[in-house]
Amino acid sequence: MTEHAQEFDVVVVGAGAVGENVADRAGRTGLRVALVEHALVGGECSYWACMPSKALLRPGAVLAAARAVAGAGVSGAVDVAATFATRDDVAHHWDDGSQVDWAQGAGITVLRGHARLTAPRELAIDGSGGPARVTARHAVVIATGSEPVMPSIEGLAEVEPWTSREATSAQLVPARLAVLGGGVVGVEMATAFADLGSDVTLVVRGDRVLAPAEPFASQAVADGLRALGVTVLFGTQTRSARRDDDGVHLSLDGAPDLVVDEVLVATGRRPRTSDLGLETVGLAAGKAVAVDDRLQATDVDGGWLFAVGDVSGRTATTHQGKYDARVVGDVIAARFGAKAGAKDAEHGGLSAADEAAATPWSRYRATADEASVPQVVFTRPEVAWVGLTEQAARDRGLQVRVVGYDIANVAGAYVLAPGYAGRAQMLVDETRAVIVGATFVGPDVAELLHAATIAVVGQVPLDRLWHAVPSYPTVSEVWLRLLESAGL
């Protein structure tokens, strides 16, 4: 084999948070792993998504929390320059040196370049310095993430709208900003730029923001945005866009036309698979790679191809993608790693991982993707939910009881801020007396979520949960109130 063609046990394409985790996990049993990346090691989350967006949101949240406590004596507004400087630090100034060092320290070979499949277990790498071709002895893992969808609106491309990348890495605050789309990215960025001083208009096609959330959460976020000065337009479509010296003119259906300085398009994302050579192994370019609960591609024979993270269309958050990454890393390590031979013999040709994957909640099966996905939205108020919404539970034919509680009535909430406003809701599966979903709305509720996730994943019966005593005076006492409201 020449220096321009190399063989590894496992090749992971895409070094976002998800690909990094697969590589780390699979490599722990001594497999030789290559991680191919054509941009920055660390991916979207580190440089243009989770981390910089939260850095932009944090100052406004801290100020609001301090202002809610009279004794803190805080006034003033967000310091734009300091916020951007912190955001730049959080995004490592868009330099991936430390993440490359980490990967190499973990024994992973980092290859710079664009990877395309050319045949089963074979890839061409279009890069500089490394091998031009790589072969995977055992497995290829696609972890190439997702990219923003640009809606086909007349003139939109020509006005060069922002995507989440330009918003999270912005160095200037537009005086007037239109945000198209009321999903997580839309409402978070509307909040951040309102804090930074933009006059923000949020343009939403449907009749609420955060469509997958409980309706009361959507309502609270829309109210919160309006309280921040954001104009929220529901039932509004953008017909066309045009830029001139006055700014960008948006022609809207359902609302008067708008003139702004920048437009942020936040209307959804699609799997990044258009230039990946998927067609060479019989898959469609531009679509998600369909996978089973082991994250193994279902439409490719031979058990060598896996897909994980946003590209699978199965998860859309870093934490859930990393969970799937741990599953696929463990499946690969168990099937092909140092101890795999012995396990294969014990299990009549199937690896232990494949046998175990048949059982829900095995570590080789991503059961939580179905049952208990957590989501936090860092707006004001924050929204956090896990598992099913009421509608989703009823659609699945579950007999659920909705138990709600006004968090303001909890002593801990009053201590946090006398004017605290928030709501908690749990969904009880009446047949099994366990929680199948929970939603929290209010300041700092993000940190309440994991208790709910544990209850849902653990399928903890309510009469056992009753013995989990929350400390006084904390907001967690809402758990006690919810259980009392459920009749305990």
Ligand X SMILES: Cc1cc2nc3c(=O)[nH]c(=O)nc-3n(C[C@H](O)[C@H](O)[C@H](O)COP(=O)(O)OP(=O)(O)OC[C@H]3O[C@@H](n4cnc5c(N)ncnc54)[C@H](O)[C@@H]3O)c2cc1C
Where does this chain bind ligand X (CB under 6 A)?
A: 13-19, 36-39, 43-45, 49-50, 53-54, 114-115, 143-145, 164, 168, 185, 272, 276, 309-311, 316-319, 321
Rounded Cα distance between 269 and 185, Å, is 10
How is residue 437 annotated by DSSP? E
Q: How far is the CB of 444 from ligand X (least distance, A)?
A: 15
Min dist CB 475 to ligand X, Å, is 21
Tell me how far, at minimum, the Cβ of 264 lies from ligand X, in Å: 10
In the complex, the smallest distance separating the C-beta of residue 181 from ligand X, rounded to whole angstroms, is 11
What is the smallest separation between the CB atom of 144 and ligand X, expressed in angstroms? 3
Decide whether 200 or 403 has the Cβ nearer to ligand X: 200
d(CA 127, CA 96): 17
Shortest distance in whole angstroms from residue 353 CB to ligand X: 22
Closer to ligand X at the Cβ: 145 or 387?
A: 145
Question: In whole angstroms, what is the distance from residue 332 CA to residue 28 CA?
Answer: 11
Work out how close the CB of 365 gets to ligand X at its nearest, in angstroms, rounded to a whole number: 19
Nearer Cβ to ligand X (167/331) = 167
Residue with smaller CB distance to ligand X, 33 or 45: 45
Q: Which amino acid, one-letter code, is at 216?
A: F
What is the widest separation between alpha-carbon atoms in the chain? 73
Q: Which of residues 310 and 429 has its CB atom nearest to ligand X in the complex?
A: 310
In angstroms, what is the minimal distance from the CB of 438 to ligand X? 18
Residue 214 phi, psi dihedral angles, 5° rounding? -60, 145
Q: Which is nearer to ligand X, 123 or 353 (CB)?
A: 123
Residue 400's identity, in one-letter code, is: V
Q: Which is nearer to ligand X, 243 or 270 (CB)?
A: 270
Cβ 162 to ligand X shortest distance, Å: 11
Structure tokens at 210: 């955060």
Cα–Cα distance, 391 to 408 (Å, whole number) = 26
Both structure tokens of 375: 């989501």
Rounded CA-CA distance 485/404 in Å is: 8
Please identify, using beta-carbon distances, which residue of 288 and 454 lies nearer to ligand X.
Answer: 288
Cβ distance 133 to 5 under 8 Å? yes
Q: Coil, strand, or helix at residue 25? A: helix
Residue placing its CB nearer to ligand X in the complex, 54 or 343: 54
**Pick 115 or 398: Cβ nearer ligand X:** 115
252 exposure class (CB count in 10 Å sphere: 0-12, 13-18, 19+): middle
Q: Which is nearer to ligand X, 159 or 308 (CB)?
A: 308
Compute the least distance from the CB of residue 241 to ligand X, in Å.
21
Determine contact, residues 346/334, Cβ cutoff 8 Å: no
3-state secondary structure 264-331: EECCCEEECCCCCCHHHHCCCCCCCCCECCCCEECCCCCCCEEECHHHHCCCCCHHHHHHHHHHHHHH
Element (H, E) at 165: helix 164-168
ω into 381 cis (within 30 of 0): yes
147 membership: H or E segment, kind and range: strand 146-148
* CA dihedral over 13, 18, 20, 25, signed as positive or negative: negative
- Residue 110 CB, nearest distance to ligand X (Å)? 11
Pick between residue 110 and residue 483 the one whose CB is nearest to ligand X: 110
Residues 6+ apart with CB under 8 A from 205: 182, 235, 236, 237
User: Residues 12-40, buried b or exposed e (16+ Cβ, 10 A)?
Assistant: bbbbbbbbbbbbbbbbbbebbbbbbbbbb
Residue 125 Cβ, how far from ligand X at the closest point, in Å? Answer: 8
Cβ atoms within 10 Å, residue 441: 27
